[in-house]
Amino acid sequence: MILVLLGPPGSGKGTQAKKLVTERGWPQLSTGDMLRTAIGKGTALGLEAKSYMDRGALVPDSVVIGLIGERTSQPDCRSGFILDGFPRTIPQAEALDQMLLGRGGQVEKAVLFEIDDSELVSRLSGRRTCTKCGAMYHIQSAPPKKAGICDSCGSSLIQRDDDQVDVIAKRLVVYHQQTAPLAEFYRKQGKLTSLDASLPANDVSQALSRAISG
């Protein structure tokens, strides 16, 4: 199955995608992870992407589509995959459809994670990331045992630039303007299912399983 997860930043798409990887065996294709890897390696695409991400803007289609095209050509994607964070715009969705059509495939389902902006700001601004191993924490819902220190490796925790409150606000504006219309795009194709992403993670997981099976 080729599955697209839609929703604003912080709505839980990545967390649920990881569960599906374990349960269903489909690889998770997160453009955010791919972009951060490219940034960490200091590649040309990574440096270009960072300038946009730091101010909460969308990375240009040419960069994202290039990454997705390369990734979906790899052997582990032959039996299906989960797209988390892509497409983010109508042109990207159209480009994805064309890419898949050329390979004899198509997006089979799109699931929209619905949640209020106010809860998203709280979720994202409280996130902390380990500078070494990448482990994620939240100062309220999942704090480390020792403030500012990773439980796993003992390295320092930081707040990512794109988790700053002012950047989050910009990211949400961009989402509502450019990404939210994808819901209607997939609804017209008869592929969209919505779920309440403000529910506890286990409830969201069950709703997602029903959406995929339905």
Q: Domain limits of the chain? A: 2-115+166-213
User: Is the pLDDT higher at 130 or at 15?
Assistant: 130
What radius of gyration, in Å, describes the C-alpha atoms of the chain?
A: 17
Catalytic residue among 13, 36, 71, 123: 13
160 has catalytic annotation = yes
Catalytic residue among 36, 50, 109, 171: 171
What's the pLDDT score for residue 115?
95
24 has catalytic annotation = no
Catalytic residue among 18, 160, 187, 191: 160
123 has catalytic annotation = no
Catalytic residue among 36, 50, 71, 88: 88
| Position 198 confidence tier, pLDDT thresholds 50, 70, 90 | very high
Rounded mean pLDDT, 77-90: 89
171 has catalytic annotation = yes
| pLDDT at residue 46 greater than cutoff 90 | no
13 has catalytic annotation = yes
| pLDDT at residue 109 greater than cutoff 80 | yes
Contact 92, 67 (CB under 8 A): no
What's the pLDDT score for residue 102?
86
Catalytic residue among 36, 109, 123, 127: 127
- The fold for domain 2-115+166-213 equals Rossmann fold (3.40.50)
| pLDDT at residue 7 greater than cutoff 80 | yes
**Amino acid symbol at 105:** G
pTM of the complete model: 0.78
Compute CA distances 86 → 16, 138, 139, 168, 198, whole Å: 15, 25, 28, 18, 21
Q: Which two tokens stand for residue 31?
A: 């453009």
Rounded mean pLDDT, 36-56: 84
| pLDDT at residue 26 greater than cutoff 80 | yes
